[in-house]
Structure 1
């Protein structure tokens, strides 16, 4: 089973220390959500894992061989149609034109895009449609590691649920590992197997909370109940600036009693 190991990872931008002593593991079929305030190094960590940055110190060892990234902005190629944007990774992998367009169209339709939508250029697509194209572009190559940098932030609730379902299906069918950055604690509870709380100055891991409840049983009542439990944890409140308490009274790796089932 593939795994991502991160050990004693630190990163600096000039003299500014963005991350310090980060240690994480991520396994196949697992979703790990990074939460925390702006400036705590979440995006830096994702960029280091993706290879867009080289770490100042530490080790990143990944056994995953087919990663894909989705960002908050769709970042579509404006001179390509929606269909060609979805098929971009398949083209890079050498898949023949007819086959890649069919695979791209099939996935796009499963994500709620019509053939007419996929014939349009990005400027003619709504923000929600662009987000669907962006996620489909990542999923169509069947990645074994999916790196998500707040891709659902600007979307309405209905569209979020549709894309969450597409992500759930990808994990179930392909065993994809997901590293998710989000400011939305409800989203983290809905999607993640583990939630990691990060804090800034410098960016570091403060708390890790495992969610043992099966994904298919996570209805709205369970999600909101679990989020409410999380919001009572000192580390979470401190991380989001809701408490002036010190960090000493708690164990940073202790799960909340009664929520992990």
Structure 2
């Protein structure tokens, strides 16, 4: 679990000082106790300001710290999550002639994006994640979330600026005019969770699961990259269903055990 946040603006910097960017990241410091990083710079017409709070799981070295630039220097990413099949993707990219500076799944995403594009990359990825990626060649920012929305990603968009964070409390550090969403607030007290796409603030939304956004001078666009599809046998026998479930469950657990730290499991008796 890491924390990501920041702003992309074509109307001047959103954060007027390093202190204001640090304050924006403060509410999510619990998400990443191992390292923190910042980026503040104008790239072409876009002001790019972002913060990352790291919990180290893959590649514990400083090379895995973020924000991270791609080896080409074209793309910048802040990423929260874990890519279970990053080793397979990394090998595929290496066979295409790409080289890597780190052992991190984060760099695999960067190189994969520049090789395949965002849509095809996300179609190949198996993992849980939320990410923000800025491509300085096209002045385009991508926000993306995993197929099941396991990692949170909130955003505020107005005119030529886009602000995002893993923690909704970050937005309260800015001088934004926010109105309570009474429907979402009622839903929260009823269900003990916020609505799928909204938040307690009318102006702050969630990136939908299985979607990515593109943001540029032309505005913001939403794209669906994943949808639930049933491709198995229509009427398997009991034995076939048991064998298939056992195989898929074992494979899913095995993928989630990939880590450069000790792994533990907590089993609920509830």
Structure that is richer in strand per residue: 2
Normalised TM-score (structure 1): 0.31
Structure whose residues are more often helix by fraction: 1
